[in-house]
Amino acid sequence: MLSDMTAKSIRARVRDELTSEIKAIARQQLATDGANLSLRAVARELGMVSSAVYRYFPSRDDLLTALIIDCYDELGEAAETAEAAVDRSDLLGRWLATGHGIRDWALANPAEYALIYGSPVPGYRAPETTVGPAARTTNVILALLADGVAAGTLTVADPVPGGGIVLPLPPELGAELDRIAATVCPDVPREVLSRGITAWIQLFGTVTFELFGRLQNMIESSRRNFFDRQLRVMAVYVGLR
Amino acid sequence: MLSDMTAKSIRARVRDELTSEIKAIARQQLATDGANLSLRAVARELGMVSSAVYRYFPSRDDLLTALIIDCYDELGEAAETAEAAVDRSDLLGRWLATGHGIRDWALANPAEYALIYGSPVPGYRAPETTVGPAARTTNVILALLADGVAAGTLTVADPVPGGGIVLPLPPELGAELDRIAATVCPDVPREVLSRGITAWIQLFGTVTFELFGRLQNMIESSRRNFFDRQLRVMAVYVGLR
DNA sequence: ACAAAACGAGAGCACTGCTCTTGACAGCGA
DNA sequence: TCGCTGTCAAGAGCAGTGCTCTCGTTTTGT
C-alpha cells in the first residue's frame, strides 16, 4: 500500500521536479532570448539531449504556455498579497498597493512581463487554460470597485464634486459595459466600471511604457514617483478615497 | 553628362527599387511571422538566393531597423495628416483626430504597430536613427499642448472648474518635467506637460490593449466608441476644449 | 579599353524545432 | 524471481534559419 504510493510518488515526483527545473531554466533563458527561447539550449543547460525535453513538454509552444500561466499566477499573487495587506476600508490604499505590487513584479521580472503583456507571439494561440490566471489581477481591481460601490463611495455620480469629468456613455458602449458587469461584477454600475477600466488601462499602460523603454530620455530618476502619481490621478478620477 | 547621370541613376535606381521591394515583402511577412521574419523566405519570394539579400541589408537586424523607421514615419505621418485637417483653434478636435489617426493606422497595420510598440526584441538595440521618426507622433501632441498654452486654454490651474483632480507634483518629478519641457516644449508648464503625458499614455495604452487582445470578452462591438470616449475623458482631464 | 567595384549564385557552418528509432531501466503481476 | 509493459534518455536525421566565404559575371568610373 504505502510502497505503492511511494513508488507512484517516486516516478511522479522526479517528473514534477524535472518539469519545474525545465521551466526554471526556460525562464532564465527568457531574460536573454525573449519569447523565442531555444529548447535545445534549455536541454543543454540540463545536461539532457533535446529530444528528452519533449517527454515533458510536447512542443515549444506548450512550454511557453506553461511559462505564461506561471507568470500570470505570479503577477496575480503579487497583486493579491500587496492588496491584502491594506485595511479593507482604505480603497485608495488598496488601489495604490495593487498598482505598485504589479509594477514591482514587472520591474523584477521584465522578460516575464513582456511575455504576458507584450506583443502577441505570431502563430501562437493562447489556450483556454491561461484566461483564469490572467484574470487574477483584474479580479483584484474589480473587487475593489465592488467594495467601493457597496460602501457607497463609488457611485454613478461624478466623483469630482462640481467637476465635469464624467461624460455621457454612448448607448452601445453602455450596453456592452452592462453585459460585462452582469457576468463579472453585478452590482457595479456601468459608469463606475467604465472609470475602472480607464484606470486599469492607465496602470498597465504606464508599466508597459516604462518597461518597453518609452519613458527613456523623459522620466528617468523619478519613475516610481511618476507611477504613483499616475495611480493617484486615476484614483481621483474613479473616486477612490 | 546626361548619360553619366542616367548611368548613375540606373545602378542606384535599381538598387533602391530592390531595397524597397525587399522591405515590402518583409513587411508582408511581418504580418504572419512577426518580428522573427525569415530573410531566406524574403529572398525566396523575390526569386533571389539568401546571400544576395545581404548586399542590401548587412544583417537581419538592419532590415528590421529599416522597417521600424518606415513604420514610425508612416504612423507619424498618419497622425500629422489627420491632425492637420482640423482647424488650428479646435484643440479638442485636433486631439481627437490625432488619436483616431494613430488608432486607425494601428488597426490597419497591426503587425507593424506591434513591431514598434510591442515587446522590445531581446538583444536588439534600436539605433539612434530611429528616435527622430519615433518622435513624430509625440511632437504632434506636444505642439497641441504648446498651442493650448499659447492660446491661454491650458494653464497650470485645474482644468476642471471646482474639481480637485490636480494633485501636487512631487518635487523630483516636477524637476524632471521641467527638464523635459526645457528641451522639447519650453513654454509648457510642468503641470500641463504632466497631464499631457498621462493622456499620451492613455492613448497608446488603449490602442495597445485593443491590438494585443486585452479587450477580448470585454469591449467587442463598440471599440471605436470606447477609444473615442477614452480620448474625450483625457481631453477633459488635460483641459482641451 | 581596363581596372575596380558591385552583384547574384552556390556551398558551407552552426544553429533551431521536431520526429523517429533504439536501447536501457523501473515498476508490475504471476 | 521472472517476464511484461510503460517510461525514459539518447542519437540520428529532416527541413529550416542567419550568416560568411568564394567564384564567375556584369556594370561602373576613368
The set of residues, in sequence order, having a beta carbon less than 8 Å from that of B225 and lying 6+ positions away, is A170, A172, A173
Cell numbers that stand for A134 in this block: 490572467
Is the predicted pLDDT of residue A3 greater than 50, yes or no?
no
Is the predicted pLDDT of residue B162 greater than 70, yes or no?
no
Find the largest Cα–Cα distance for chain B: 73
Q: Which of B119, B170, B233 sits opposite A222 (nearest CB)?
A: B170
B170:A229 CB<8 A: yes
Q: Kindly state whether B160 is in contact with chain A, defined as any CB-CB distance less than 8 angstroms.
A: yes
Q: A44-97, pLDDT tens digit by residue? A: 999 999 999 999 999 999 999 999 999 999 999 999 999 999 999 999 999 999
pLDDT of A161 reads 65
Contact list, A229 vs chain B (CB under 8 Å): 167, 169-170, 173, 194
Determine the distance between A10 (CA) and C25 (C1') in angstroms. 14
* Residue-averaged pLDDT of chain B: 92
DSSP state of A129: G
Q: How far is CA A104 from the centre of its chain?
A: 12
* Residue-averaged pLDDT of chain A: 92
> Which among A105, A234, A235, A120 has a CA at the least distance from the CA of B201?
A234
Q: A109-151, pLDDT tens digit by residue? A: 999 999 999 998 877 888 999 999 999 999 999 999 999 999 9
Percent of chain A whose predicted confidence (pLDDT) is above 70: 93
Asked if the Cβ of residue A139 lies within 7 A of any atom of strand C, the reply is: no
Chain B residue nearest residue A31, CA to CA? B122
User: Lowest mean pLDDT: which of A31-35, B16-20, B225-229?
Assistant: A31-35
Q: Kindly state whether B176 is in contact with chain A, defined as any CB-CB distance less than 8 angstroms.
A: yes
**A residues 137-156 closer than 8 Å to B (CB):** none
Confidence of residue A163 (pLDDT cuts 50, 70, 90): low
Q: B20-50, pLDDT tens digit by residue? A: 999 999 999 999 988 889 999 999 999 999 9
What's the ipTM? 0.93
Whole-angstrom Cα distance, residue B65 to residue B151?
Answer: 39
Percent of chain B whose predicted confidence (pLDDT) is above 70: 94
pTM: 0.94
Cα of A57 to nearest chain B Cα, Å: 23
What DSSP assignment string belongs to chain B?
Answer: -HHHHHHHHHHHHHHHHHHHHHHHHHHHHHHHHTTS--HHHHHHHTT--HHHHTTT-SSHHHHHHHHHHHHHHHHHHHHHHHHHTS-TT-HHHHHHHHHHHHHHHHHH-HHHHHHHHSSPPTT----GGGHHHHHHHHHHHHHHHHHHHHTTSS-SS-SSTT-----PPPHHHHHHHHHHHHHH-TTS-HHHHHHHHHHHHHHHHHHHHHHTTTTTTTS-TTHHHHHHHHHHHHHHHHT--
B201:A198 CB<8 A: no
Is residue A208 within 8 Å of B203, Cβ to Cβ?
no
- Runs of H (alpha helix) within A47-189: 50-53, 60-84, 91-108, 110-117, 131-150, 171-184
For residue A85, report the phi and psi dihedrals to the nearest 5 degrees: -80, -5
pLDDT of A13 reads 79
Q: Which of B161, B208, B219 sits opposite A208 (nearest CB)?
A: B208
Residue pairs spanning A and B at CB distance below 8 A: 168
| B209-235: average pLDDT | 96
Whole-angstrom Cα distance, residue A137 to residue A135?
Answer: 6
Whole-angstrom Cα distance, residue A240 to residue B144?
Answer: 30
pLDDT of B1 reads 35
Whole-angstrom Cα distance, residue B194 to residue A230?
Answer: 10
Residue of A30, A75, A119, A128 to mutate when probing chain B, most B C-beta within 10 A = A119
Is residue A93 within 8 Å of A144, Cβ to Cβ?
no
Q: Kindly state whether B225 is in contact with chain A, defined as any CB-CB distance less than 8 angstroms.
A: yes
**How far from each other are the two terminal CA atoms of chain A, in whole angstroms?**
59
Q: A165-200, pLDDT tens digit by residue? A: 678 899 999 999 999 999 999 999 999 999 999 999
Q: Which of A33, A118, A167 sits opposite B118 (nearest CB)?
A: A118
Q: Say how many C-beta atoms besides its own lie within 10 A of residue B237's C-beta.
A: 26
Asked if the Cβ of residue A52 lies within 7 A of any atom of strand D, the reply is: yes
pLDDT of B163 reads 57
Q: Which nucleotides of C are covered by protein (CB under 7 A)?
A: 6-12, 15-21, 26-28
Q: At what angle do helices B131-150 and B190-211 cross, to 10 degrees?
A: 130
A230:B165 CB<8 A: no
Is the predicted pLDDT of residue B7 greater than 60, yes or no?
no
| B135-151: average pLDDT | 98
Is the predicted pLDDT of residue A4 greater than 50, yes or no?
no
For CA atoms A55, A58, A64, A70, give the dihedral sign.
negative
pLDDT of A121 reads 82
Length of chain B in terms of residues written: 241
| B141-162: average pLDDT | 90
Q: Print burial letters for A100-133: b (CB count within 10 Å at least 16), e (below 16).
A: bbbbebbeebbbbbbbbbbbbbbeeebeeebeeb
Confidence of residue B5 (pLDDT cuts 50, 70, 90): very low
**B residues 104-133 closer than 8 Å to A (CB):** 111, 114-115, 117-123
Confidence of residue A6 (pLDDT cuts 50, 70, 90): very low
Is residue B78 within 8 Å of B70, Cβ to Cβ?
no
